[in-house]
Structure 1
């Protein structure tokens, strides 16, 4: 009893250490990115990294336009972006700012008619805005340089991630590190959930620690957790959905899946691995008839759809009350579905797109940030591990149809079915997928890879896989002989 308690204490201590290391590395990177951008403020840098400009500005707009609130002011000075009807108006305002006790921090806008200012009081900014005919005053961090971004709500994606970003602005303030705290928290949740999922799969705490460690130091996890993109939220709640499914709590799993979809619709791809786990559970319970499994699968799908609709409506109530149900339905549901199934951007000015299989080989990786020295921060995991997991997934394919029990079977099902879901999405029309989407797969890549390698430490398991391929080729050969005999 004492020995078991001591073992549990050691495991918990190691897990806490892993999480602490993850937190240190991620916060350090998030802070360094902020420092890097602020140091280039005079050159027109705005502090945003990659696509977080859309989500952060949308979060700020939701905070002020939907909830009537503003970010917490940091320090003794007030900062705001003033938007004008024309470039000339913005230029005249910039030239007259000093007379109103206003400091122009930046006027480096090419697509938005705006200036970013600082003053000792809010009243000074308000009076200056009225005197110079500003059409909008946005308090907080400088807006991104995009036309109409002061009104942008990012309705093509559900609002939950923006709510969390807005909450961090409201409670802590409007600056890059604070925007990224929700993402950092999601990364921490990913590490912890990975540990518990592996522990549930194979009841081996040591292996669970190893997998959690690899996930914690994976560059894609760290890079996505250090900036304010949506996909790290999707990855965290995908794991939580699977965690409930692994514990045979399928209703709770579907509830979490519905909530996960309020961050981004790609969370719904998790339904496929959950469905396969559910069908596997039915078979284990002795339900083998095709029609019975089919009806239960349809019932399972209907429950997932109800969960999706419920949570989409629930979290969107503030937006629906503001813009109306019809516009919300058109933009946030039908428009979002169309967006996910469309080719979003092509041409030389567009970010590099990739296919789901590219992600495993480091091909067409999305550039998140380009440093002044020319080095690039890519949305890319540890390629050798990703590549090996992909190869092993294909290598063990035939073995999955054998009746023999295998500790790697469920990890293989979760990993392969989520990958297949992305392939199906690509086939359905989403040809412009980006490598940072792969963060949803990352924990399952390591879960499968390490458990599969552990299983292959017994040579007999490798032989069983080879025999399964031999049987397949023999079957194909017999089929070919039968075909040629006619």
Structure 2
């Protein structure tokens, strides 16, 4: 006997039955070879890490949820605890006027449906995070790349700490990232008016969507330069994508903000509200720095490249004592504003290779990654240098999709041996485990 079952047919004929484990392995391999099935499994895994223990710690607000959740409570006419942000604000009006109302309105609708709890507060960010991952897959495919590369990119982004944390807490950052990534996909697909409209939806969440528009305009500028090289002239038709993008963006941004302000703010018109938001952001200057490279929660954009000045969003510690003597303290929950250290550590070589690959091979995806990263990162460098504008490490979130693409291109196109690429993925998974907010099973 070899361990495989047999079935007797007649006197001397037998048919071997394969082991169950082998059948299961073959079926799994067959399913994973199908891109749609592999993407579905990857998205399910990403969803699990975003919804598991979503309501914990019970009744605790994480990071800037103290602003946005309370703003949503005001919109709903619910009680805001004394001493909390926006306590006593006029009912039904968005008190968080430094940002457009749409993100808080979505949170309010979620809370009305699911209650004043972690699920109600955070479900919009979970949904936005999943939309962002699907949009990222579509971006890679729209740029003409393979489904295998797209799956690698989504995997890197899905299990990156900053995308996980902001994909499961009730803040605006994932709510703005999702529509601008959808806009990028539509732009790569040649649907420029829809791309402008999607980016305009992002502007109704948070004004940082403007950097998504900047990326679209840079892409259009490169397209115009290419048309000039081919034709030695530019016609009106060459400017139609740019006009369509800007018109759609303006209509959605101005029209949407006007409609939202009619009901949820006291601003007489969207221009006045935009002016207030811009002035508010411009006045966020850094205080005189104290000793050390990270004297407070804020940080300089160049520090993000090294994962410095990580932010503690929420930490629950357990102390171990022997009598009155403290032996040790360790976290059971640790939400951090920080990138996966393996991903951010690869940034220099990944973008150097991606920039070279975009230039030498005229690779469309590599070009998009460089443009997107530059448009969403360099403005903060300029603001920090020119006006000492206060910045935080989580502002790097929109760059993460471009970095995931750069790393994926490095692993797949630079000629690295396959065992090296697989080893990188394993080490990356270790980084995911090390930074996952829940340090033990509740």
How would you bin the TM-score normalised by the shorter chain?
0.7 to 0.9
Alignment of 1:76-475 (within 5 A): 80=79, 112=83, 144=84, 148=88, 153-285=95-227, 292=234, 300=242, 304=246, 307-308=249-250, 310-321=252-263, 323-326=265-268, 329-330=271-272, 332-344=273-285, 346=287, 352-373=297-318, 375=331, 376-394=334-352, 397=355, 404-406=361-363, 408-427=366-385, 429=387, 431-457=389-415
Partner of 1:28: 52
The two structures, once aligned, show a CA RMSD in angstroms of 3.4
- Shift of residue 246 of structure 1? 0.8
Contact in 2 for aligned 1:411/1:447 (Cα 8 Å)? yes
- Structure 2's unaligned 5+ residue stretches are 1-29, 319-329, 418-442
Change (3 A) 1:288 1:367: farther
Pick which of 221-230 and 290-299 moved more.
290-299
CA distance in 1, matches of 2:140, 2:379: 22
Change (3 A) 1:417 1:208: same
What are the superposed Cα offsets for residues 61-108 of structure 1, whole Å, 9 maximum, x if unpaired? Answer: 1233xxxxx6xxxxxxxxx557xxxxxxxxxxxxxxxxxxxxxxxxxx
What are the superposed Cα offsets for residues 215-270 of structure 1, whole Å, 9 maximum, x if unpaired? Answer: 11111111011111111112111211110111121121111111110000001101
Partner-residue secondary structure (3-state), 1:370? strand
Change (3 A) 1:449 1:341: farther
- Shift of residue 52 of structure 1? 1.1
Partner of 1:58: 71
Contact in 1 for aligned 2:199/2:212 (Cα 8 Å)? yes
Partner of 1:465: none
- Shift of residue 341 of structure 1? 2.3
TM-score norm. by structure 1 comes to: 0.67
TM-score norm. by structure 2 comes to: 0.73
* Total equivalences in the alignment: 368
Change (3 A) 1:224 1:248: same
CA distance in 2, matches of 1:193, 1:299: 21
What are the superposed Cα offsets for residues 130-165 of structure 1, whole Å, 9 maximum, x if unpaired? Answer: xxxxxxxxxxxxxx3666467661011001111110
Partner-residue secondary structure (3-state), 2:382? helix
- Shift of residue 293 of structure 1? 9.2
Contact in 1 for aligned 2:353/2:410 (Cα 8 Å)? no
Q: Does 1:16 align with 2:16?
A: no
